[in-house]
Amino acid sequence: MRVTVLAGGVGGARFVRGLRAALGDADDHEITVVVNTGDDLWLSGVRLQPDVDSILYALAGVNDTERGWGRAGESERVSAELREWGAGWPWFTLGDLDLGTHLARTGWLREGLTYTQVAERLASRWPIGVRLLPMTDAEVDTYVVVEDGSRLHFQEWWTRHRAALRALEFQNPGVAQAVPAPGVTDAIETADVVLVAPSNPVVSIGPILAVPGIRDALARARRVVGISPIIGGRVVRGMADACLSAIGVETSAAAVARHYGRRADGGLLDMWLVAEEDAGLAPDLAADGWDVRVTPLWMTDLERSAALARAATAE
């Protein structure tokens, strides 16, 4: 079975780990993960790709499972020194091991490798069992326009302000000229199923869909299944509700489904998975023609994530 997943960082990583476990025993399977790169940024001279690294570290088993992000066994000596220099962002800590990744990546970029080639090199260190593709090789960082009209890099809004400044709009400058990274549209069009991970619909899935050509590829895909990142009207972890309200979407599994849209109506999805807590939303969606399935959506451990992936890949 060929499965292609559209994913952000931590939610995406949990889901992909489950998918890899679910398909693990099947002889013939191929998983491609198209990762959001809207979170990327230049900081202290290095290029960060938070969502790519979250997925890489989680699949390699070197992620910090307690903190929920970054490397296990991390130290922060370099960050402390940068702070003394007044370099970088004092509220954005870069772990030492993590900086090793950023330095390697930045060095390869300066040698002329593309983001796709860099991701392939980073991923070759561990047998991660999936193909990791950035959504595009272009730099299309996400910016947030806030109430006073100023524009901040997404990471500044998210990490420094904890998404507390009311967002009016998310922008990815340059995205209109970007093209999907090599292999992305092919992976979408030739997959048996494309899965939209339970990731942030606005700032993780949104930038992927904004790359010209990706929506068209999805329209040609065999089957597209989405998993709700909202359970019982809550975002589960993080502050995705601040992103949804900025684009006028309610924090509910039904509203996110309608935001993505049904493929039969020119939208994205053939099927939508909602949590048992949201079973009450299913009849309304079904009345509008949705193929909506109710299944446990909590990815609290690998077994639950794998069960969710099995539900998402079932016909």
Interface residues with Ca ion (CB under 5 A) are: 8-9, 39, 51
Which residue stretch of 1-9, 22-30, 128-136, 218-226 sits at the interface with ligand GDP (rule: CB under 6 A)?
Answer: 1-9
Cα distance between residue 65 and residue 61, in whole Å: 9
206 binds ligand GDP (CB under 6 A): no
Residue 10 binds which of ligand GDP, Ca ion, none (CB < 5-8 A, kind-dependent): ligand GDP
- Phi/psi for 194 (5° steps) reads -105, 130
Residue 232 binds which of Ca ion, ligand GDP, none (CB < 5-8 A, kind-dependent): none
Considering the complex, what minimum distance in angstroms separates the CB of residue 33 from ligand GDP?
Answer: 11
The total number of residues shown for the chain amounts to 315
Size of the site for ligand GDP (CB under 6 A): 24
Cα distance between residue 244 and residue 203, in whole Å: 9
Considering the complex, what minimum distance in angstroms separates the CB of residue 219 from Ca ion?
Answer: 25
Touching ligand GDP, residues 211-230 (CB under 6 A): 228-230
Which residue stretch of 8-16, 22-30, 79-87, 166-174 sits at the interface with ligand GDP (rule: CB under 6 A)?
Answer: 8-16
* The binder of ligand GDP chosen from 199, 260, 262, 309 (CB under 6 A): 199
Cα distance between residue 256 and residue 244, in whole Å: 9
40 binds ligand GDP (CB under 6 A): no
Cα distance between residue 210 and residue 204, in whole Å: 11
Shortest-Cβ-distance residue relative to Ca ion: 9
Q: Among 206, 93, 226, 207, which residue's Cα sits nearest to residue 159?
A: 93
Pairing of strands 2-7, 30-35: parallel
Name residues whose C-beta falls within 8 Å of residue 39's C-beta, 6 or more positions apart in sequence.
Answer: 8, 9, 49, 50, 51, 141, 142, 154, 155, 203, 204
DSSP, collapsed to helix, strand or coil, labels residue 254 as helix
Considering the complex, what minimum distance in angstroms separates the CB of residue 84 from ligand GDP?
Answer: 29
Name residues whose C-beta falls within 8 Å of residue 183's C-beta, 6 or more positions apart in sequence.
Answer: 32, 116, 131, 133
Residue 18 binds which of ligand GDP, Ca ion, none (CB < 5-8 A, kind-dependent): none
| Residue 272 β-bridge partners | 226, 292
235 binds ligand GDP (CB under 6 A): yes
307 binds ligand GDP (CB under 6 A): no
* The binder of ligand GDP chosen from 58, 195, 240, 285 (CB under 6 A): 240
Q: Which is nearer to ligand GDP, 288 or 301 (CB)?
A: 301
Q: Which is nearer to ligand GDP, 123 or 208 (CB)?
A: 208
Q: Write the CA distances from 259 to 149, 155, 209, 245, 262, integer angstroms.
A: 25, 24, 12, 12, 9
Cα distance between residue 122 and residue 104, in whole Å: 8
* The binder of ligand GDP chosen from 31, 221, 297, 311 (CB under 6 A): 297
Q: Which two tokens stand for residue 259?
A: 């935001």
Dihedral (Cα; 221, 227, 229, 230), 10-degree rounding: 130
Considering the complex, what minimum distance in angstroms separates the CB of residue 48 from ligand GDP?
Answer: 13
- What would the x/- binding string for ligand GDP be over residues 155 to 194, using CB under 6 A? ----------------------------------------
Q: Which is nearer to ligand GDP, 55 or 82 (CB)?
A: 55
236 binds ligand GDP (CB under 6 A): yes
Which residues of the chain form contacts with ligand GDP (CB under 6 A)? 7-12, 51, 54, 198-200, 204, 228-231, 235-238, 240, 297-299
